[in-house]
Structure 1
Amino acid sequence: MVAINPSAAAVDVNRNSLTVIDNRTGKVFNIPITNNSVPATAFKAMKTDNSEGRDEDESTRGIRVYDPSYQNTAVCRSSISYIDGDNGILRYRGYPIEELAEKSSFLEVAYLLIYGELPNKLQFDQFEHEVLHHTFVHTNASQLMKSFNYDAHPMGMFVSGIAALSTFHPEANPALVGSDLYTRDDRIMNKQIFRLLGKAPTIAAMSYRHRIGRRFNHPVENLGYAGNFLQMMDRLTESNYVPHPKLTKALDILFILHADHEINCSTAAMRHVSSSLVDPYSAVSSAAASLYGNLHGGANAAVIKMLEEIGTVDRVPDFIERVKAKETKLFGFGHRIYKSYDPRSKIIKKVAYEVFEICGREELIDVAVALEEASLKDDYFIKRRLYPNVDFFSGLIYKAMGFPTDFFPVLFAIPRVAGWLAHWREGLHDSSQKIWRPRQLYVGEGERVYVNMDDRADRTADGKQAKPLMETIRHQYNKRRAIANYDGKSKL
């Protein structure tokens, strides 16, 4: 882009503005700058005729801002979390993540994220009571969780279980009782917050127990949030079962670190879906489905797989060279936002060693440390500012605690429910927010005339026979069936 120095007369007297010259028309536009941002809708005023370009470019409707994957687009105003990626800073409502991890509890942090301030004793006691009294799910919801295939992925079960909760609370569905349900009565909103925070660990524990073929455990109130979750996962027939307090604390810290992280992929999904005023259970389910992806919630499982493939410390140098040659991928390093050390990674590394003292040293930690040290000394990684992120050590902790790798995304989803609900609540109270409807740049064909199928060419422009566009994999039940003959047998 070429910088243009317009005449003084064209410049807005307000320094907090952006002056744009549309070279197609010669018009000057002064756009206000607020919080170091400009409104994208201001560019709609920059119109021209269609003498250049196509009708589909819609030049008469103003300029659109093209930003694939939202690399530099702010879609909302938020007061929930702040990230300084260059300096490795993460704050919840202004509080450094390091202080919260050291001094707070997950439920206290959840209250902070959702309601904006740290609770006093009375507020926290009420909040904790409500959340822990909303941990039971309907019997039919339990039956649903039992109906999945024996090898169903726990995250798929979690997504489905959360979505199903909406059908058990029709009074909380705006589609049934009015679109202004949550803006007219905060008590109804609070009820769903308690339910989702309380039931998320229950649904998660059910997905784990089903996978290993054991009956579901009922929630208990006296063990706290993380302790109750561990009890639901691990208790057999013991009475007064109490998880190890240090493991409970470690999991609570991990929950704090994963509770929110600005407008990441799943949180954007939460805001996008909830902008339609759908019920929060469906919105949380959609956010969890986004978290299910390997590039988001599945990243720490990929780290474990990578470390297992490296195997031993002496193979780290060779792995580093293969990464630099782009022969393999490096997981757990780098971040879309952080260009410095992920502050959560430093805390998790400390927690990891505390867990190892209880559960035994995870053998892959030596490989992880060697990989971390080698990368931090290598110019290739230094120039690209690739530092360990939150996924690098969290997977090692979960593995040391005995969680299977396919359960890692569920452990990520449980605390992130708090962040999703915070953004849901904030979005509903933001009068500037409408239903999300991104625009596109249409680059397809212009208007075309319909051609009947019999008249369509079956050969390409160079005269070759056109190939089918669709290919798929077809599975036979067995070889006997494949060679059998019967009426209507497909030639495919």
Structure 2
Amino acid sequence: MEIKKGLEDVYVKETEITYIDGELGRLYYRGYSIYDLAEFSNFEETSYLILYGKLPNIYEYENFVKSLRESRGISDRVKEFLKSVKKNADPMDVLRTAVSIMGLEENTHTYNVSEQSIINLISKFPTIISYYIRLRRDLEPVEPDTSLSHAANFLYMVNGTKPSEEEYKAMDVAMILHIDHEMNASTFASLVVASTLSDIYSSIIAGISALKGPLHGGANYEALKMFKEIGYIENVEKYILNRLANKQRIMGFGHRVYKTYDPRARILKAYAKLLAEKKGGEIKRLYEIAEKVEEIGIKHLGPKGIYPNVDFYSSIVFYALGFEPEFFPTVFASARVTGWIAHILEYVKDNKIIRPKAYYKGEIGRKYIPIDSR
């Protein structure tokens, strides 16, 4: 009996959504290179591609963008919930519960994904997240601006000012890079629920719950904590060598699929550098620390196939754009929700309930003893 811990290398479905070449460090969405999409596309167009399998024509694109922009607002019930939450609550718990309320409002009972449900989930995640960010800062929430793109509006609602072109592009690219990544833990969690023919909101809540974990969506938070703990570039070598000597992980390094440099990390490094140069101060210092960590980490771990992953530089990009570290997983979720939905739609076309086996190794035939004789 071979038990594959973590279901490593176990295939659960065929897909036409995402292809990863872990040996060469390549990533494709629906056959398009992630490098091309990051350079030429935007979050809305890439979301359409992921969901519907093709790049939209101008009519399809404009209708999709219009639907997203017009659906950004959240209900009074969701707003009241967000106002009632303690300021030290885990942001992923807040997002998860707000999505539950959305499901209640839509009154979904069984699997029946409407186009409006898809639009609502993608468009409202940033509004929920930014609303709670503002409340935690003792600031008035900013309502969505329908004249702005998805990424630009997200930053506007968080910071209260319209982003610069550099900030918008960094946010937009970061969201493209987080839209999907094949059969990761949160996508699989979403599929397990969807395979029972439960409703779309329940499936997405499962994805959020899995993404909350520090080994998945919380890894970029841990990477930034490491950079801050190092403090200054002259401390990097001693810090990293000490962690390696004690067999501790270098946060933001290593990936189960990639055996070389994560292509998403390559792209985000350029935007982290751009933002560091524009903003200076702490952001520049953290970027310089990250570069040094990368240099020393690759020297010692590269021969083992361990390189920077997407979390390494996304932590600096998100921080530079105005997000507190504890909100990084929610930003991840605001992009990944598109991928979750796409995989759910693909799986249930030929649905089979996901029900693996566990190999029993306990005793058989134990004699029951009444409680007063134990």
Q: Read off the aligned partner of 2:357 and give its amino acid letter.
A: R
Could you tell me which of 280, 291, 316 is aligned with 1:369?
291
How far apart, CA to CA, are the structure 2 residues paired with 1:441 and 1:419? Answer: 32
Asked whether the 8 Å contact 1:300–1:408 carries over to 2, the reply is yes
How far apart, CA to CA, are the structure 2 residues paired with 1:296 and 1:272? Answer: 17
Q: Read off the aligned partner of 1:268 and give its amino acid letter.
A: F
Asked whether the 8 Å contact 1:258–1:415 carries over to 2, the reply is yes
Q: Which has the higher contact order (CA 8 A, sep 6+)?
A: 2
Encode CA deviations 1:173-202: one digit per residue, 9 max, x unaligned. Answer: 243xxx5x34xxxxxx21211111111111
What is the percent sequence identity of the aligned residues?
37
How far apart, CA to CA, are the structure 1 residues paired with 2:317 and 2:259? Answer: 24
Matched with 2:278 is 358
Q: Read off the aligned partner of 1:254 and give its amino acid letter.
A: A
Q: Read off the aligned partner of 1:104 and give its amino acid letter.
A: S
Matched with 2:340 is 420
Matched with 2:44 is 107
Instruction: Trace 1:28-177 onto structure 2 (pairs within 5 A).
Output: 66-170=3-107, 173-175=108-110
Shift, 1:263, TM fit: 0.4
Q: Read off the aligned partner of 2:191 and give its amino acid letter.
A: R
User: In the alignment, is residue 302 of structure 1 matched against residue 222 of structure 2?
Assistant: yes
Matched with 1:285 is 205
Could you tell me which of 307, 313, 322 is aligned with 1:387?
307
Q: Read off the aligned partner of 1:224 and give its amino acid letter.
A: S
Any runs of at least 4 consecutive aligned residues in structure 1 with deviations exceeding 4 A, and if so which?
none
Q: TM-score if structure 1 supplies the norm length? A: 0.73
Q: Read off the aligned partner of 1:444 and give its amino acid letter.
A: G
How far apart, CA to CA, are the structure 2 residues paired with 1:169 and 1:317? Answer: 53
How far apart, CA to CA, are the structure 1 residues paired with 2:311 and 2:124? Answer: 25
Instruction: Out of 402-411 and 311-320, give the one that drifted further.
Output: 311-320
Shift, 1:330, TM fit: 0.9
Asked whether the 8 Å contact 2:159–2:322 carries over to 1, the reply is no
Number of residues paired by the alignment?
372
How far apart, CA to CA, are the structure 2 residues paired with 1:257 and 1:424? Answer: 19
Matched with 2:356 is 438
Instruction: Out of 315-324 and 281-290, give the one that drifted further.
Output: 315-324
Shift, 1:116, TM fit: 0.3
Matched with 1:24 is none
Matched with 1:403 is 323
How far apart, CA to CA, are the structure 1 residues paired with 2:333 and 2:340? Answer: 10
Q: Read off the aligned partner of 2:176 and give its amino acid letter.
A: I
Q: SS in structure 1 opposite 2:367?
A: coil
Asked whether the 8 Å contact 2:276–2:287 carries over to 1, the reply is no
Asked whether the 8 Å contact 1:355–1:397 carries over to 2, the reply is yes
Larger-gyration structure (1/2):
1
Matched with 1:214 is 139
Matched with 1:22 is none
Encode CA deviations 1:106-125: one digit per residue, 9 max, x unaligned. Answer: 01000000000011111100
Q: Read off the aligned partner of 1:113 and give its amino acid letter.
A: I
Q: SS in structure 1 opposite 2:276?
A: helix
Q: Read off the aligned partner of 2:240 and give its amino acid letter.
A: I
Shift, 1:327, TM fit: 5.0
Shift, 1:65, TM fit: 5.5
Asked whether the 8 Å contact 1:352–1:393 carries over to 2, the reply is yes
Structure 2, unpaired ranges of 5+: none
Encode CA deviations 1:293-323: one digit per residue, 9 max, x unaligned. Answer: 1001110111111122222222222223223
Encode CA deviations 1:372-394: one digit per residue, 9 max, x unaligned. Answer: 1122233xx13311111111111
Asked whether the 8 Å contact 1:152–1:211 carries over to 2, the reply is no
How far apart, CA to CA, are the structure 2 residues paired with 1:340 and 1:401? Answer: 28
User: In the alignment, is residue 313 of structure 1 matched against residue 238 of structure 2?
Assistant: no
Encode CA deviations 1:300-356: one digit per residue, 9 max, x unaligned. Answer: 111111122222222222223223322533111110100011001110010112212
Higher helix share: 2
How far apart, CA to CA, are the structure 2 residues paired with 1:169 and 1:79? Answer: 30
How far apart, CA to CA, are the structure 1 residues paired with 2:247 and 2:53? Answer: 46
Structure 1, unpaired ranges of 5+: 1-63, 183-188, 236-240, 457-492
